[in-house]
Amino acid sequence: MAAGNATIWKPSPSTPLCSIAVTKIVARVLESNGLPGAVAGLVTGGKDAGEAIAESRDVELVSFTGSEHVGRIVGKTVMNRFGKTILELGGNNASIVMPDADLSMAVPSVFFGAVGTAGQRCTSTRRLYLHRDIAPEFLERLKKLYDNIKPADPLVDGTLLGPLHTSAAVKTYSNTIDHLRSINADIIAGGNKYTDAHLAAGNFVEPTIAIPKSADPSAQIWSTETFAPILNAAVFDSLEEAIAWNNAVPQGLSSSLWTRDIRNLGKWIGPGGSDTGIVNVNVGTSGAEIGAAFGGNKSTGWGRESGGDAWKQYVRWSACTVNFSDSAPLAQGVNFDTAT
C-alpha cells in the first residue's frame, strides 16, 4: 500500500477471525486518512480462493507465506503467467552456542525461540548445536525453564504457552515424537500432549527437547521442519562443524551464533559462514525486525519483506531517457549516416 498498490489478503483458513479483526483495524486507519478501506481487501476461503489469486493476471505480485510444498505450487502457477512472487516458506532454524558464549543470554533466548508462540513461527528455533564444553550445563539450565512453563489460554495475561492452532498440527507433533522414539532419541523434556482436564480438550502439547543419536543433517529429523515446539539438540567440537550442519539442510531462513569472540563472528557472517537469509549473532532466531530485510534462501524461497529496500519489489520498473538536444544520439554512439 505504501508503494501505491491495492492489496488482497487471503489468510489461512484455520485463522479467519484474526484476519477479519486485523483487516477492520487497517480499514479504519485508511478511511481516517481519506483512503477507501477496500484498498486493503480480504478474501477468506480454502484452496479454491488461493488458486484463483495465483492464477489471476489482475494480481501482479503474489506474496505467499506457508509450506514449501504449497509454495512450489504457487511459484509455478504465478510464473506460468509471468507474474512475480515473494515466497516465505519453511524455516528449519538453528542456534549455535560456542564455549565462550554468555549463557545467561543464550539460554533464555533459545527457550523463547523454541517455545514462544508454541513453536509456530517460521523463525522458531528447531535445531540447537552446543559446543561439547558447555553442552551439559546449557541443557540443564534449559530443561529447568521447560519444566517450569505452564500452558494456558493465550487471552489470559501472563500466558507464555498457548495451544497449537489445529488438531492436525497436534497430529504432526505426535508423529514427530513417535519418530524420535523410533530412532532412540533421548527426550529430556516434554514429548506428550497435556492431559490436564482443562487442557485435554484443546490443542496443547508439551514443549520438547530431544537429543537424536545421530547429528547427520541429512536425516529426516534434522532436515524436516516440524511446526511445533520441538527442539532437537546435538553436540559439536568445532565452529566449522557446526556451520556445516547449519547449512546442510534444505531450508535457509534464520540462524544464530552465540559467541564473544570476534574471530568466530567473522567466520559466521563471512562467505564460508551461515547461508540463511537472516544471520544473527548473540540474538535468537525468532523474530522479524521491521528495519531489516526479512526472507530466506534455498527452499525457504526468495524475495524480502520489511527493510529499507522491500518496497522496490512492489513497483514496476521502467528505464526512461529524455532528450532535449537538437539531435537524436544513437545507441552506443553508433554513426548510422548513409551520406558518408
Positions annotated as catalytic residues are 88
For residues 291, 7, 168 and 197, what is the CA-based torsion angle, rounded to 10 degrees?
Answer: 70
Question: All 3 cell numbers of residue 119?
Answer: 513453536
Residue 108 CA to residue 95 CA, distance in Å, equals 12
Which spans in the chain are helix H?
16-32, 47-55, 68-80, 103-115, 135-148, 167-182, 197-200, 220-223, 239-247, 262-269
Write the DSSP symbol of residue 263. Answer: H
Per DSSP, what are the bridge partners of residue 8?
41
Kindly report the CA angle at 291 between 290 and 297, in degrees rounded to 5? 80
CB 103 within 8 A of CB 206: no
